[in-house]
Structure 1
Amino acid sequence: MSEAWVGPVTGPDCVQGGVCEDITSLRKRFYQLYIAVEQSPAATAITDVKGRIEFVNQRFLDVTGYSREELIGQTPAMIQSGETSDAVYRDLWQTLQAGRVWQGELLNRRKNGELYWEAEVITPVRNDAGEVVNFVAVKEDVTERKRQESELKLLATAFATGQATLITDAHMQIERANQAFTDITGYREHEVLGKTPRLFKSGRHSADFYARLWDDLLNNGHWQGEIWNRNKYGDIYPLWQSITAVRDDSGQIRNFVAVFHNIAERKRMEDELERQATLDHLTGTYNRRAFDTALRQAIFQAERGDESFSLLLFDIDHFKEVNDRHGHDTGDAILKQLADRVSSSLRSTDVLSRWGGEEFTILLPDTRLRGASTFAERLRCQIAESRLQGLTITISTGITEYRPGDDMDSMLARADEALYRAKSAGRNRVVVDDTTRVEE
């Protein structure tokens, strides 16, 4: 605006000049208002009473992605997402047509198709006669806020109903714990606030275990694995636990979040499955697979210079005749009773297994050949003097001792050869692999 356009602006007797001065001042104020609205950080739009857009500021363009030319003369319907309910728009127009201010949140769509949330305040503008002539909409993009609210709601739901969760500060002092945490540990939230997870240590893990845990957590931001803890009542139980370090914008650790569940039942089932996989289904002794494992371990320990061990291989004499004469049910019962009798004569470190059919093996750790022979002879006598299913049963036994350089096959071959000689010599006897017979 130039002074030439508005005319003289000075002189006490220039009425016209005074009018021009008022107009100039008014135009300056309107221009200042326009600049303020145009540069406002809030998206602003002015429509007529039918909703046709007459003005939008720069922020409105930035948010929607449209140009002024594309928006002027159109209605806000061009930015509607189609996902806001009709009831919201009915309430909006009923409120505005009644001359009242409407405020709420709308899900809109940018020119590129991206959805976004806006918090809007729409105000009716009246003329001097009190008639509504425009609507002014001031909008704030609240997409990020809505996303955070949704995430917080989701996290709150998970915290309340999901796995056991524990939140600590950067110094490992407990700040939050949920109900699932209480269900597993027995501790209520108020009992652990301000304390550290050292409260739950079981004593089962070494310092190296915790050092590796912290190394992963601090270097990778995450650790997960099996850990044994102690609950409020002193019970020790296994957990599968995941710990995450939460960092702030500057990269500093702000919190640690631990999520865990009790795997005691899973461990019990795994142990039971492992037990079933290693036991003979009929006699309850170890099966051949478990025996092979035990024999390999015994050889490994003997190779390291530990005490030697002996291996016994025995079977029931004339067992086929027992099955043929009395039936397989009786034969099965005899096998179970025999296994029970032999088990009752063993040490906790000895290993009895069903080798196959009526054959059994026994590993005697830290036992030399003489001691094994004495044990085998005593066992032979006990069986011969007993009655199994009302029948007199005898066993023949072959014995060998570990020798440097032995493997599984060489030891089993010697024990089997000794058993063969025991049977050839008349059965119901013990033979060691050096051909020395132990008399009845």
Structure 2
Amino acid sequence: MDITGYSRDELLGKTPALIQSGMTPYHVYNDMWATLLAGNVWKGEILNRRKNGELYWEAQTITPVKGVEGEILNFVAVKEDITHRHQQENELRLMAAAFETGQATVITDANMVIERVNQAFTDITGYPSQEVIGKTPRLFKSGRHDKAFYQRMWETLRDTGHWQGEIWNLNKWGDIYPLWQSITAVNDADGEVRHFVSVFHDIAERKRIEHELENQATRDHLTGAYNRRAFDTSLSQCVSDALHAHQPFVLLMFDIDHFKKVNDNYGHDVGDEILQQLAVCIKGCLRDSDILARWGGEEFAILLRSTQQSGGETFAERICQRVRRRVFSGQRITISIGVGEYRLGETQDMLTSRVDQALYAAKHQGRDTVMACAQAEADNVEEDVR
């Protein structure tokens, strides 16, 4: 009665059809009756419906009771509500299916000792399960993240029970690769952490595409240097750093002397090759923090971070000599350079205008030379000799 919800009086005189759900396959009943009518015991599972309409699973054992001559007189059914067991089995099947999806999955104990990994984990990391079970995820540390990164991760896990983010790991072959990882703490009935479940996937291809798109948006298609728009953004950041962090910087602007003659005499293809080779030549002199951009045509600009005027002039002289000694697509070329350190309070346009005037003055002085802003301002050059 507790299982079905019906009282004894409601069930007496009725057939089991009263509790049938209509959802048990016909072949189950066909097998049941064929077995019982043959005088044998039948065991099986049937989906029934309680009085309140709720579905439930029963495990049944039905035994025929026979008379003296072997005729069947009654049936005795022993039933057990197995709904909860069915739910657990379904959950386990779902968990097993999820565990073997394309997402790499790692299950650890409360001390982060690995207990189980799936095939996707092996495919991504290169480690078979027998090589990582019993070890901790420290095995995969790439060295790309500092101690503070892992501290923040564990603080978030402790406070919320969950962390997700981008992380760079080391695979079995020594390659460092990016992945998107999600870690969840699994608690017991008392709220104590018993396991951690980590799910991740490799995002190297996504990062490659992002990098390619960024290059397309920020790089000059011919020389590979930054384009004008990206350079303006970098210059704005340098101005901000100078104002708020007192970080000096120098702007250089240079172009190829008599470049129109090169194009006229040898063609634009040779001119393009020279621009490409010049960009490579200059990049070889730069620090990682420096920025080279194609300003337009044959004109380029360089940002030297954490540099003062004297350092900028020395650098400019060095690249002037470097270009003078090189051969570019069979041609000898020279460059003229304007150099200026940022002055607190001036705008980007004011700085670029000053340095452009210095470059203008270098042309006036005979080209293949370096002109500082202060000197150019003193000369007050006005004639266009480009």
Same fold? TM cut 0.5: yes
Return closer, same or farther for 1:78/1:321 CA change in 2, 3 Å cut-off: farther
- Distance in 2 of aligned mates of 1:343 and 1:195: 45
Counterpart in 2 of 1:200? 140
Q: Is the 8 A contact 2:125 2:171 kept in 1?
A: yes
Counterpart in 1 of 2:298? 358
* 1:333 equivalent in alignment to 2:333: no
Return closer, same or farther for 1:258/1:374 CA change in 2, 3 Å cut-off: closer
- Distance in 2 of aligned mates of 1:335 and 1:205: 38
Q: Is the 8 A contact 1:315 1:397 kept in 2?
A: yes
Which letter maps to 1:261? H
TM superposition shift of 1:392: 5.7
- Distance in 1 of aligned mates of 2:188 and 2:316: 71
Q: How does 1:260-299 map onto structure 2 within 5 Å?
A: 260-299=200-239
Which letter maps to 1:61? T
* 1:343 equivalent in alignment to 2:286: no
TM superposition shift of 1:88: 1.5
Cα shift readout 1:145-175 (whole Å, capped 9, x = no counterpart) = 1121122122223323442222222233322
TM superposition shift of 1:104: 0.5
**Partner of residue 403 from structure 1, selected from 343, 351, 363:** 343
**Partner of residue 248 from structure 1, selected from 169, 188, 203:** 188
- Distance in 1 of aligned mates of 2:365 and 2:134: 78
Which letter maps to 1:80? Q
Which portions of structure 1, spanning 4 or more consecutive aligned residues, are displaced by more than 6 angstroms? none
- Distance in 1 of aligned mates of 2:77 and 2:45: 12
TM superposition shift of 1:380: 4.3
- Distance in 2 of aligned mates of 1:383 and 1:204: 37
State the secondary structure of the residue aligned to 1:61.
Answer: coil
Gap regions ≥5 residues in structure 2: 380-386
Return closer, same or farther for 1:374/1:165 CA change in 2, 3 Å cut-off: closer
Which letter maps to 1:165? T
Cα shift readout 1:177-221 (whole Å, capped 9, x = no counterpart) = 223333333433333333333333344433333332223223322
- Distance in 2 of aligned mates of 1:397 and 1:254: 66
Which letter maps to 1:59? D
Counterpart in 1 of 2:114? 174
Counterpart in 2 of 1:32? none
- Distance in 1 of aligned mates of 2:298 and 2:74: 102
Counterpart in 1 of 2:308? 368
Q: Is the 8 A contact 1:164 1:184 kept in 2?
A: yes
Return closer, same or farther for 1:216/1:405 CA change in 2, 3 Å cut-off: same
Query: Which has more radius of gyration?
Result: 1
Instruction: State the aligned residue count.
Output: 377
TM superposition shift of 1:78: 4.2
- Distance in 1 of aligned mates of 2:167 and 2:275: 42
Q: Is the 8 A contact 2:248 2:306 kept in 1?
A: yes
**Partner of residue 125 from structure 2, selected from 171, 174, 185:** 185
Cα shift readout 1:205-263 (whole Å, capped 9, x = no counterpart) = 33333332223223322221223333445444333221212122232222221222233
Which letter maps to 1:266? R
TM superposition shift of 1:282: 0.5
Return closer, same or farther for 1:173/1:428 CA change in 2, 3 Å cut-off: closer
Give the % identical residues.
Answer: 61
Structure possessing the higher relative contact order (Cα contacts under 8 Å, 6 or more residues apart): 2
TM superposition shift of 1:283: 0.7
* 1:107 equivalent in alignment to 2:47: yes
Q: TM-score, normalised by structure 1?
A: 0.74
* 1:59 equivalent in alignment to 2:2: yes
| Greater CA drift, 254-263 or 337-346 | 337-346
| Greater CA drift, 186-195 or 113-122 | 186-195
Cα shift readout 1:274-303 (whole Å, capped 9, x = no counterpart) = 344332110111222332333234334444
* 1:98 equivalent in alignment to 2:38: yes
**Partner of residue 122 from structure 1, selected from 31, 40, 62:** 62
Q: How does 1:383-398 map onto structure 2 within 5 Å?
A: 383=323, 388-389=328-329, 393-398=333-338
- Distance in 1 of aligned mates of 2:351 and 2:79: 88
Which letter maps to 1:273? L
Return closer, same or farther for 1:429/1:212 CA change in 2, 3 Å cut-off: closer
- Distance in 1 of aligned mates of 2:286 and 2:188: 62
- Distance in 2 of aligned mates of 1:381 and 1:254: 67
State the secondary structure of the residue aligned to 2:4.
Answer: helix
Q: Is the 8 A contact 2:108 2:197 kept in 1?
A: yes
Q: Is the 8 A contact 1:176 1:193 kept in 2?
A: yes
RMSD, aligned α-carbons: 3.2
- Distance in 2 of aligned mates of 1:373 and 1:219: 54
Counterpart in 2 of 1:75? 15
- Distance in 2 of aligned mates of 1:415 and 1:329: 30
State the secondary structure of the residue aligned to 2:207.
Answer: helix
- Distance in 2 of aligned mates of 1:301 and 1:144: 64
- Distance in 2 of aligned mates of 1:385 and 1:176: 63
State the secondary structure of the residue aligned to 2:2.
Answer: helix
Q: Is the 8 A contact 1:61 1:68 kept in 2?
A: no
- Distance in 1 of aligned mates of 2:259 and 2:181: 54
State the secondary structure of the residue aligned to 2:135.
Answer: coil
Which letter maps to 1:417? Q
- Distance in 2 of aligned mates of 1:169 and 1:382: 61
State the secondary structure of the residue aligned to 1:166.
Answer: strand
**Partner of residue 255 from structure 2, selected from 315, 319, 327:** 315
TM superposition shift of 1:90: 1.0
Return closer, same or farther for 1:232/1:386 CA change in 2, 3 Å cut-off: closer
